[in-house]
């Protein structure tokens, strides 16, 4: 048997001792000298390549579940959306009101309670009869209506991801982390002030958590590639607004 060099023996003994402390203190089941052992290898790549792989993975995935807070134009939107190329479904909360969005192909529907429609009227006032008609119904949003562009933006997977998965400033790796039990490599812009993105080190290198620059919100991505059903609302559950929809 070939004897192990003395320096290597000491190093191995030190690693074993550290592992024993980590395992006893945290309940972990193992320890390795190589932080990339058992990963997809993305953590070893240059930061530009990590970004490229994450964007490619996101762009080629058939579907994703996006949730969290998005701050834009001074407003906070809480999103819980399932997105895929031909549509989306989920909810958006803004200024204390929650509404449901459903897009199937080019057809967009918005569903909200009477409180939403009352607040959305001119100067916060809306016709009581119209409010009752719209309460709890799927409202078809005409493509020519200004509200279509605004609301459909929350349902467009490609547009959302293209805009969100962008870090600002000088981008660098920012250590290995863990999100929902999944090991990640974090990349950040300008040491975090330009936003951070955690990319999975397990399986496909999907983006998992994004913290946007300038307090722009934090979003979590999950269920990558997991399909979901989109069903057109029943005729009795659908109404036409009949006039220009509110955009605020």
- Per-residue pLDDT of 202-222, as tens digits, reads 999 999 999 999 999 999 999
pLDDT of residue 42: 97
pLDDT score recorded for residue 67: 98
pLDDT attached to residue 71: 93
Going 169 to 172 to 175 to 181, the CA torsion angle's sign is: positive
Digit-coded pLDDT (tens) for 219-234: 999 999 999 999 999 8
Regarding predicted confidence, which is higher, 128 or 19? 128
pLDDT band at 131 (very low <50, low <70, confident <90, very high): confident
In the chain, where the domains are located: 42-60+162-222, 64-158+231-240
CA distance 221 to 217: 13
**Among the listed residues 79, 114, 73, the one whose alpha carbon sits nearest the alpha carbon of residue 94:** 79
Q: Is residue 65 over pLDDT 90?
A: yes
Closest CA to 134 of 23, 20, 238: 238
Q: Is the pLDDT reported for residue 156 higher than 70?
A: yes
**Inter-axis angle of helices 157-164 and 47-60, to 10 degrees?**
170
Percent above pLDDT 90 for the chain: 60
One-letter-per-residue 3-state SS of the chain: CCCCCHHHHHHHHHHHHHHHHHHHHHCCCCCCCCCCCCCCCHHHCCHHHHHHHHHHHHHHCCEEEEEEEEEECCEEEEEEEEEECCEEEEEEEECCEEEEEEEECCEEEEEECHHHHHHHCECCECCHHHHHHHCCCEEEECCCCHHHHHHHHHHCHHHHHHHHCCCCCCEEEEEEEEECCEEEEEEEEHHHCCCEEEEECCCCCCEEEEECHHHCCEEEEECCCCCCCCCCCCHHHEEECCCCCCCC
Sign of the C-alpha dihedral computed for residues 170, 173, 177 and 179 taken in this order: positive
| Average confidence (pLDDT) over 157-170 | 93
Residue-wise pLDDT for 1-44, tens only, equals 444 444 444 554 555 555 555 544 444 545 556 888 899 999 99
pTM over 0.85, yes/no = no
Arithmetic mean of pLDDT, 78-92: 97
Predicted pLDDT of residue 115: 77
């Amino acid at each position: 048997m070939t004897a192990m060099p003395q320096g290597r023996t000491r190093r191995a003994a030190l690693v074993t001792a550290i592992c024993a402390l980590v395992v006893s203190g945290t309940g972990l089941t193992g320890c390795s000298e190589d932080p990339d052992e058992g990963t997809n290898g993305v953590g070893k790549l240059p930061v530009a390549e990590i970004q490229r792989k994450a964007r490619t993975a996101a762009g080629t995935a058939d579907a994703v579940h996006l949730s969290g807070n998005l701050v834009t134009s001074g407003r906070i939107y809480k999103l819980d959306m399932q997105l895929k190329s031909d549509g989306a479904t989920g909810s958006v909360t803004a200024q204390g009101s929650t509404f449901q969005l459903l897009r199937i192909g080019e057809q967009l529907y918005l569903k909200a309670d009477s409180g939403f429609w009352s607040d959305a009227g001119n100067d916060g006032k809306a016709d009581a009869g119209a409010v009752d008609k719209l309460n709890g119904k799927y409202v078809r949003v005409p493509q020519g209506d200004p509200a279509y562009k605004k609301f459909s933006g929350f349902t467009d997977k490609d547009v959302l991801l293209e805009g969100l998965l962008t870090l600002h400033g000088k981008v660098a790796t920012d250590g290995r982390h863990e999100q929902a039990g999944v090991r990640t490599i974090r990349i950040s812009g300008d040491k975090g002030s330009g936003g951070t993105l955690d990319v999975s080190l397990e399986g496909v290198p999907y983006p998992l958590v994004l913290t946007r620059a300038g307090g722009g919100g934090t979003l979590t991505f999950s269920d990558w590639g997991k399909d979901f059903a989109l069903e057109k609302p029943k005729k009795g559950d659908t109404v036409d607004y009949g006039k220009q929809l509110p955009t605020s």
